[in-house]
Each structure stands twice: as structure tokens, then as C-alpha cells.
Amino acid sequence: MELYGKLTSSLNDLFATQLTDAVSWRTIPGQLQKVATSPSGFTWGLNARNTLFRCKEPCTGSWTSHGTPGDGRILDLAADMKYVFILSREGVMTVIRRADVTGQGSWSEPIEAPDDAKTIVATSDSVIVTGK
């Protein structure tokens, strides 16, 4: 387990260094707690009041409030080329919903996720939910 920890730490350092060298970071005003960016040029964010926002990059002040489905608390969000996905706690269930990444249309019906789910990741062909 100690070797795993060292390897993980080394990989984290490598990625952080590579990203710092390759990406110009800039501060964007606001109070978003979570952000997901789509390869198609849309960024979605979630604030502490459980409100979703979206913008078309480069996001220079043009954030639009977007309706939150159901009455649940959003735990996490992720985006791929076509969709934005949210993981939320609705009543006694943890669920996944999706919407068009452009913000057009409505949210999908909920799909039940494992009760201990905390994070969601979207790839080009999969959505992965992880727990504790």
C-alpha cells in the first residue's frame, strides 16, 4: 500500500507540473463550487445554492442560470461532447440525469445510482460513478 501511495503521489506531481507548464490559468469571478467543461466548448458550474450555470467558452461574463431538475441536492457534475450529467440525491435515492450540453431541451428521467455514489466522470463513451 505504501508503494501505491508513492506512485500516486508521483503521478499527481507529474500531472500538476505538466498542466501548469501547458495551460494558462486565469481567475473567473464567481462562487462556483464545481465546474465541468465539455470538449464542444460549453462549461457548466454549480454554486452553493444548488443552482446550475452554463456558458459558451470563453465564458467572459456570459453565464446563464439553468434549471435544476427534481428537488434534489446535486452532488457532482460532468460533461462530454454531447451531454452534461448530474449526480444528485433526490429523496432517498441517488440518481443520474443528463441534458444537452448546449442547455437546449429538458433533463432526462432519473436513473438510479448506487446510494454511496459521490462523484461522476464522463468520457467519450462512458459515464462512471464512484463512491466513498
Per-residue pLDDT reduced to its tens digit, 28-57: 556 889 999 999 999 999 998 899 999 998
- C-alpha cell belonging to residue 53: 450555470
Give dist(CA 131, CA 50) in Å, integer.
20
As beta bridge partners, residue 42 has: 56
Give dist(CA 68, CA 107) in Å, integer.
8
Please state the pTM of the whole predicted model: 0.77
- Give me the residue label for grid cell 486565469: 26
Using the Cα atoms of residue 23, residue 128, residue 79 and residue 132 in order, give the sign of their dihedral.
Answer: negative
All residue ranges of the chain with pLDDT < 70 are 1-30, 132
If one counts every other C-beta atom within 10 angstroms of the C-beta of residue 63, the result is: 18
